[in-house]
Structure 1
C-alpha cells in the first residue's frame, strides 16, 4: 500500500490527478491529493462526507480548476475548462443528485445536447433511445415524461446516458443508493462487461460491501488528504473503516438487543388495518410506543409505498391508519403531522430539503406554526431551533444560517432527521435513512433512532441496508405487496436476504 501506487509497466492510465490542492477561502478542500485509475479498472474513492471526494469529482469533470496540481486523461493533459466537448469525450459522470430534467421525455434526457444540428427527427431520436436502453436492459417507455420515472428508473436512465456518451472513463457517485439487490447486480454485471472492453470507472460509495464486490483498487481520503491507495483484495474491512475515520474499531451500529423489550401490553402508537394502496394490499400492522419496526423487501415489494402512505405522501384505496386510536385523513401529510407523525423521506434532495434555505429554516419546517403568532416566525426562535438541531444531531455547519445546500450529504440527512423530530412526534417513519451518508453519519443517525425509541417514540425503518435494520425490534419482509415474513431481534443475514428474495426451503 502506498500514497500513490505506480502502475505496472505497460498499463495505461485512464485518469490521473496528481498533487492536487483546492481551497475555498480559508477552507482547504483538497490538500496535495492524487489518484491514478487504470484502463479497465473500477477504482473506489471512499471517505467520510467532507473528505474531499466531491471536490475531486468537480476537478476531474472540468467544472472547476485546481489551485495547483495536474489532471490528465490517457496520457494527455486535461483540456481547457471552456472546451466542454473535449471534457465529454474524456469523462462522464453520474451524480448522486439526479441531473434528469423531469419536464423532458426519457428520450430527450438521453440525448440532451446531442440531438445533432438542424431539425430533430423525433422517430429517429426515440428509436435510438429505445436501442440504448435495450442494450442496458432498462424497460422504460422513452416517450413518457422523466417526471413519471421511479427513483430506480431515473437512476438507470442516467447511468445509461453516461455510458452512451462514449467516454472511456466514467465516474459513478453513489450509483446504487436507491437501487435494490437485483438492480444492483444488473448494474455490476454491466460494469464488469464494460471493464472487459477497457472502460475505467471511479466508483464512489458508502456501501463498503460494494467496494469489495466490484472494485479492484481503493483510495481513501480523510480531512481533504490522501490516506492510502491499495488493492481491495489486500485491505480488510476493519482496516478500511479505520482509514476512513481515523479511529480503530470499525462501524458501531446500535442494536435492538440493548433496549428493554416492548411488551404486548404496551400502548399501540400506530395501527394500520387492512391497508391497500400503490404496490401493496391488505396490510395490517401495529407499532407500540418505544418499538422499532423494520420494513424490508425488494424495490417492487411495496415497502416504500406503504411507508409513504402512512405519512400521507400517498393515498390508500382501502383500509385505515390510526395514531393513538385517532383515524388519519387519507393522503394528507398535514393531517399526519397534526397527529404526531414525523418522516424522513427516501429522497432528501427532492422531498426532504429546500436546498436554498438555511439549516434553521429546514429544521423548523414542520413547526413553523409554533414559532410566532398569527403565522409570523420570530427570528430568534427560528435561530434557536437551528442551534438546537445542530447541537442535538451533531450537524457540521458554520451556523444555523448556512444554506443547507452547502452541507455534505451526511449533514444534510441529519437536518432532515432534525426536521422530522422537531415536533416531538409519537411516530417516526424513516425511509432509507442512511442512504448516501458516511460511516460516522450512519452511526449518528441510527443512534438517534435508538435514542428516540428509548424515549417512547414508535419508529418504522424502511431500508435496503441490513445495518439499518439491526436497530429494529422486529423486521417485516414484504413480497409482492404483502407482508410475507416476520423476524425478531435475532434475525440472521442469510435468512433475511432469502426471505427478501423470495427463496424458501
Structure 2
C-alpha cells in the first residue's frame, strides 16, 4: 500500500520545551492508524503540524509523497487533511447547512438559501449522516456534531481525517455507531488517524498503532501483533497494572442525600444517599439522566421536585455556593467550559473556592495562595512550572488535576465527580481515581459518574440509571457483562 501521510524526523520546540524530538509517523492509504501516548507525549503538537497550524523546526511532512503546502495556503491544507477535535468547532448559532459550507455559501454575492440547503442535504446523504440540514447546530447531540464535522471535512476533498478523542463524550451505542461510520469511510478509501486514551478502541477500530513517549516515536506496529501489556509498557516505559480499588468499610452517617428528585425530560422519582467513606457510582447511557442528576446534587440544575441535603443541611435548589458552603466539592463534566479559567494561573484556579480564607478585608494574600497552591500541586503531582503557570499551557491530564485541586482544596465532606478521566492518559487516570479514594479515606462520601467501567470499579456500589430512573443498585464485584446488561435495559 502507498503511504498517504508521513512525518519524518519532526522537531518542534516551544521556548525551552521540546514538544517533538525527531518524531515520525507513516500512515498508509485507506487505513485507520492509532496514535497513542500519555498526556504530554507530543500527540497534539503532531496534530497541529499535520494540519498546517504549526511549522516544524526540523523535519518534513509529506502527503502522497509530495511536500506539504505552505502554511498560508489554507485551502490546500483543507483539501489534504481535516481534524475532528474533542472540542467541537461547530458554530452553535448557525444551521447545519451553514456550518457545512461556512465561507462557501455561494460563489456570488447573493446566497441562495434553498440551494444551500439542497447542497447540504446531498452531502449529508452521501455520507449517511441522519441530521436535518436546516436544524440549528446548537440543538445537535455530541455524536451528531461529530458526524457533521466529518462530512464538512470530506466536502473539501480531504481523504485524510484526524479524529482526536472522538469517543470521550459518547456513550456505548453512540461509539458503536461512530465505529460503523468509520468502517464505511475506510471502505470508501478514507485514511484516518485515531487518537484515544481508550486502548480497547484501538484494538477494535485500528489496523496499526504508533506510540509516542516523551516527545519521541517509540514504536509502530500492526495492532494484531501488539499485546495489550506491551502497548501500555511502550506508552509508559514500564508495565502498568490496572488500577486496583482499595478495600474499605463505609461509615454510618449520611453526608449527601436526594429525596424524590425529578427534572422534566431527564429523570424522576430518584432517591439517593451517600455515607461517609463510601463511593457511589452512577452508570447508564447518555440519555439515562445520570449527568443531570449529578448536576442537580451540586446545584447546577434546579430539580422540579424533591430535596437535596448536604451534611444535614437542606440546600436551596440550583444554589451551587450553598452546596459548596455545606461541604461539597465538584468536578464538572466539561473541564474546558466549567472546570477552570484557561488564562488564569494554576494557583488562581486551584484556590478559587477558598479565596475568602486567604486574606482579610476582601484582599487575597499572594503568599498564602501560593503556599496552598503548592500544597495541592504536590499532593496531586501536577506537572507544572509552578503556581503562576497558566492552566491553558498544561496537558489535558494535568489540567484535569487542577480541576480536582479546586474541588479538594477546602477538604470537602462530599465529592461529586463527572467523567473524571475522560481524555487523560493511563497514569493520570490512576492519580485521579486515587485522589477520589484519598478523599473518601479521610471520611468524605463521593458520587462518581462515569462512562468508563474501569472508573466505576472503585465504587462500593453502582446505581444504574435507565430512561431517567434508577433500575438497579449493583454492589462491588460486578462483571462487565452484568453491568452493561443493566445499562442497556436488558436486565432490571
Asked whether the equivalents of residues 249 and 277 of structure 2 are also in contact (C-alpha less than 8 Å), the reply is: no
Q: Deviations over 1:213-241 (max 9, x none)?
A: 00000000000111000000010111100
**Within-5 A mapping of 1:180-195:** 180-195=171-186
Q: Counterpart in 2 of 1:412?
A: 399
Q: Deviations over 1:237-277 (max 9, x none)?
A: 111000000012x243131xx322225xx000011101001
Q: Deviations over 1:362-388 (max 9, x none)?
A: 111222222222332222222223212
Asked whether the equivalents of residues 298 and 501 of structure 1 are also in contact (C-alpha less than 8 Å), the reply is: yes
Q: Structure 1-normalised TM-score? A: 0.93
Q: Counterpart in 2 of 1:58?
A: 48
Using a 3 Å threshold, how does the CA distance of structure 1 residues 129 and 305 change in structure 2: closer, same or farther?
A: farther
CA distance in 2, matches of 1:392, 1:159: 41
Aligned match of 2:253 in 247, 259, 267?
A: 267
Q: How many residues end up aligned between the 2 structures?
A: 490
Asked whether the equivalents of residues 19 and 68 of structure 1 are also in contact (C-alpha less than 8 Å), the reply is: yes
Shift of 1:163: 3.8
**Within-5 A mapping of 1:76-115:** 76-115=66-105
Q: Counterpart in 2 of 1:308?
A: 295
Q: Counterpart in 1 of 2:343?
A: 356
Q: Secondary structure at the match of 2:153?
A: helix
5+ residue gaps, structure 2: none
Shift of 1:130: 4.2
Q: Which moved more, 1:421-430 or 1:292-301?
A: 421-430
Q: Counterpart in 1 of 2:311?
A: 324
5+ residue gaps, structure 1: 1-10
Q: Secondary structure at the match of 1:367?
A: helix
Q: Counterpart in 1 of 2:153?
A: 162
Q: Counterpart in 2 of 1:173?
A: 164
Q: Counterpart in 1 of 2:212?
A: 221
CA distance in 2, matches of 1:414, 1:240: 24
CA distance in 2, matches of 1:137, 1:481: 30
CA distance in 2, matches of 1:129, 1:333: 42
CA distance in 2, matches of 1:338, 1:106: 42
2:58 is equivalent to residue 71 of structure 1: no
Asked whether the equivalents of residues 254 and 450 of structure 1 are also in contact (C-alpha less than 8 Å), the reply is: no
Q: Secondary structure at the match of 2:374?
A: helix
Asked whether the equivalents of residues 78 and 153 of structure 2 are also in contact (C-alpha less than 8 Å), the reply is: no
2:3 is equivalent to residue 17 of structure 1: no
CA distance in 2, matches of 1:130, 1:281: 37
Shift of 1:281: 0.7
2:426 is equivalent to residue 450 of structure 1: no
Asked whether the equivalents of residues 14 and 168 of structure 1 are also in contact (C-alpha less than 8 Å), the reply is: no
Shift of 1:177: 0.3
Shift of 1:131: 4.5
2:24 is equivalent to residue 34 of structure 1: yes
CA RMSD of aligned residues (A): 1.7
CA distance in 2, matches of 1:112, 1:251: 47
Q: Counterpart in 1 of 2:363?
A: 376
